[in-house]
């Protein structure tokens, strides 16, 4: 039985091992559809909000070999599994950083990144529109020098 496992904060899907492996299956199932519309070639530093167990992180790093991904998640349980999954994947080595943070209060300066990605996350964030605007600001390109 897939029971809800409570963790650091209330989260509808919980943090059971079944749920964590579901995230990996889900990411792979939707990969070709989703990434047929996404192109990060040219980006170097990507912020992934709500990276979970690193299922999308692995895909990003595999598809875009120039990328470094900073994955943040509110859950220490998810991040521990992300570290295990990505640490066991050769092409991810030294190309990611994981950090515990709330999407509503990210510890980054604007323009710290040149791209941002989130998937299956906004429905868990209290103010999705405000959050999206902030994620865009973290990843906005610097204005041209005059």
Ligand X SMILES: C[S@@+](CC[C@H](N)C(=O)[O-])C[C@H]1O[C@@H](n2cnc3c(N)ncnc32)[C@H](O)[C@@H]1O
When CB distances to ligand X are compared, the closest residue is: 52
DSSP bridge pairs for 70? 47, 97
Does residue 52 interact with ligand X by CB under 6 A?
A: yes
Binding residues for ligand X, rule CB under 6 A, total: 21
Site string for ligand X, 78-117 (x = CB under 6 A): x-----------------------xxx-------------
Burial class (CB in 10 A: 0-12, 13-18, 19+), 51: buried
Q: Is 70 in the site for ligand X (CB under 6 A)?
A: no
23 binds ligand X (CB under 6 A): yes
Q: What is the DSSP string of 59-117?
A: HHHHH-TT-EEEEEES-HHHHHHHHHHHHT-GGGTTSEEEEE--TTS----TTS-SEEE
| Binding-site ranges for ligand X (CB under 6 A) | 11, 13, 23, 27, 50-52, 55-56, 73-75, 78, 102-104, 119-121, 124-125
């Amino acid at each position: 039985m897939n029971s809800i496992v409570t963790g650091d904060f209330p989260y509808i899907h919980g943090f059971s091992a079944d749920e964590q492996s579901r995230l990996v299956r889900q990411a792979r199932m939707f990969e070709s559809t989703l990434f047929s519309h996404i192109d990060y070639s040219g980006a170097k530093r990507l912020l992934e909000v709500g990276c979970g167990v690193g299922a999308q992180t692995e895909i990003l790093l595999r598809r875009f070999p120039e990328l470094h991904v900073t994955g943040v998640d509110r859950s220490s349980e998810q991040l521990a599994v992300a570290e295990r999954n990505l640490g066991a994947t050769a092409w991810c080595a030294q190309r990611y950083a994981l950090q515990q943070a709330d999407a509503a209060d990210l510890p980054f300066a604007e323009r710290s990144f040149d791209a941002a990605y989130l998937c299956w996350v906004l429905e868990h964030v209290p103010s999705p529109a405000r959050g999206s605007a902030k994620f865009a600001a973290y990843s906005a390109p610097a204005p041209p020098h005059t």
